[in-house]
Structure 1
Amino acid sequence: MDMFTLAGKTAVITGGASGIGRATAARFALAGARVVLADRTDASDYAREIGGSYVETDVSDEHAVEELLARAAASGPVDILINSAGVTSEAALPDIEIAEFDRMLATNARSVLLTMKHAVNYMTNGGAIVNVSSLAAFVGLPTYACYAASKAAVIALTKVAALEYGPLGIRVNCICPTSVDTPMLRAQPGGELEAALARTAAPLGRICSAEDVAALLHFLSADDCPLISGQALSIDGGATAGFSLAILDRLAAGIDAADA
């Protein structure tokens, strides 16, 4: 028996041009899925490389999302939907521009609503939807209010969709990664500090890779997990278990230095 096979399945992956989406597309293709990459950035060459297809898509636009799913389902039902498209920004609460807050919600949360709203029309054989939220939805971090709010909305949308779509045989979950080593993180003004914080906070002592996250998305998308639905699963190296030894050691060192 082929465990965790995706053979014969059609998987739509938003944000498929880079980061988590790109790593997930590669893993799903290796597992046998027909992968449809959606992104505003051209991923047509990469899609051909892994035997999939690319649809230029602004996931915050309802018409574009409808067209994406219709094209993905042109040769059969959609079996898997991965919502990994996302953007981030940093600003202290008094400095937040409302337009930027709206952009976060549009790309990170509205897109999830739109894809789940329209995907159900094409998931006629049931299937799996997995949304990418963030650990920021659970654990506050200064200057990340817009991002955290948008990712908290993803968790709420996931839970409601799991209730509504369960009778249709569709499992809906979301994952909540800590900082992930992606081009988006490296491009952030505070990306280096965020990565260092993630490594220090995690008892396992390292930051997530995009491939780590893709593995969890694969696990939740396969038919081998038929009763996992409505969940928000953290992938954080143990950071939310409590204070890591690295944090405690640094605190102790700071206390010793202050007493010296």
Structure 2
Amino acid sequence: MFSLKNKRAVITGAGSGLGLATAKRFKEAGAAVIMGDISEDTRNLAEEMNCLFVKTDVSREEDVKNLMEKAEEHFGKLDIVVNNAGIICGEELLEEADRKTYEALFNVNVMGVVYGIKYGQKHMKDGGVILNTASNSANGDYAGYGPYIMSKISVVGITKVAAIELAPRGIRVNCICPNTIDTPMAYAEGCETELQVMGIQTPLGRMCKAEEAAALYHFLASDDCKYITGEDIYIDGGLKAGPARQMIEAILASLK
């Protein structure tokens, strides 16, 4: 396991799914973990894991500023910041989506990352790491999710700019583009059919598990990964590479 011993890591959206899996993985690897999340329920999780909890709404600049300040107060200068908190919208065509939808997604998914970079780097050691959660939908080929895709494509762009700007300090900035994560929350949205289709169209035939994605964050956060920056890295079971064989076979069978 890539060691994170004596590293200090802030993770937003740490109360469930990918954020929680990453917090657990970092903790197991030896890091001191600060869990930022909008839900008070995360406080109990943080106590059980011996982590610091700071209630954080990433759409509020003052909340993210406070998160980074509290993290440094308790543990000293940061080594790792994971800007993971995000929201998704329901399926809407571009002609149907209203301004409220765009603003909600932009405030959390885009500005949450901007604030995380802005204040994270201020409280970070030179040579630190910033990881931003984008999405495989940043590839831009999902009809009906235009507002969400807009927000995640923005994360990719912000990541590349930040990587160049922070390179003189040796701070690496990358973004991870996962497929839909297979968690209870995904099924709670009432999208079982869509999720089954997603599994069929993925070459590996299933969705990504939170622990699998957390392993990638772990590697990118480690000192074994010092020459990777400015990248958008996909973890999608081969979906970006092309359609799954089983999906093509299913389509052909339906035409007979």
**Normalising TM by the smaller chain, what interval?**
over 0.9
Give the drift of 1:182.
2.5
**CA-atom RMSD in angstroms:** 1.2
Match of 2:200 in 1: 200
Task: Indicate whether 1:250 and 2:234 are aligned.
Answer: no
Mean CA deviation greater in 138-147 or 25-34:
138-147
With structure 1 as the length reference, what TM-score do the two structures score? 0.94
Match of 2:146 in 1: 145
Gap runs ≥5 in structure 2: none
Match of 2:30 in 1: 32
Give the drift of 1:124.
2.2
Letter in 2 for 1:39: D
Task: Choose the corresponding residue for 1:15, options 13, 16, 19.
Answer: 13
Letter in 2 for 1:141: Y
Match of 1:136 in 2: 137
Number of equivalences:
253
Match of 1:216 in 2: 216
Q: Which runs of 4+ in 1 moved over 3 A?
A: none
Q: Cα deviations across residues 14-50 of structure 1 (Å, max 9, x unaligned)?
A: 0001111011001100000000000110211111111
Counterparts of 1:224 and 1:115, CA distance in 2: 23
Q: Cα deviations across residues 41-73 of structure 1 (Å, max 9, x unaligned)?
A: 021111111111100011111111111000001
Q: Cα deviations across residues 167-226 of structure 1 (Å, max 9, x unaligned)?
A: 11110000111111124422324x223321221121111110111111111010001100
With structure 2 as the length reference, what TM-score do the two structures score? 0.96
Match of 1:73 in 2: 72
Counterparts of 2:197 and 2:4, CA distance in 1: 35
Counterparts of 2:101 and 2:241, CA distance in 1: 32
Mean CA deviation greater in 176-185 or 126-135:
176-185
Counterparts of 1:197 and 1:46, CA distance in 2: 33
1:15-164 aligned within 5 A: 15-42=13-40, 43-74=42-73, 75-90=75-90, 91-164=92-165
Counterparts of 1:109 and 1:9, CA distance in 2: 26
Letter in 1 for 2:172: R
Counterparts of 2:213 and 2:80, CA distance in 1: 16
Counterparts of 1:33 and 1:251, CA distance in 2: 47
Letter in 2 for 1:72: A
- Identity of matched residues, %: 41
Letter in 2 for 1:209: K
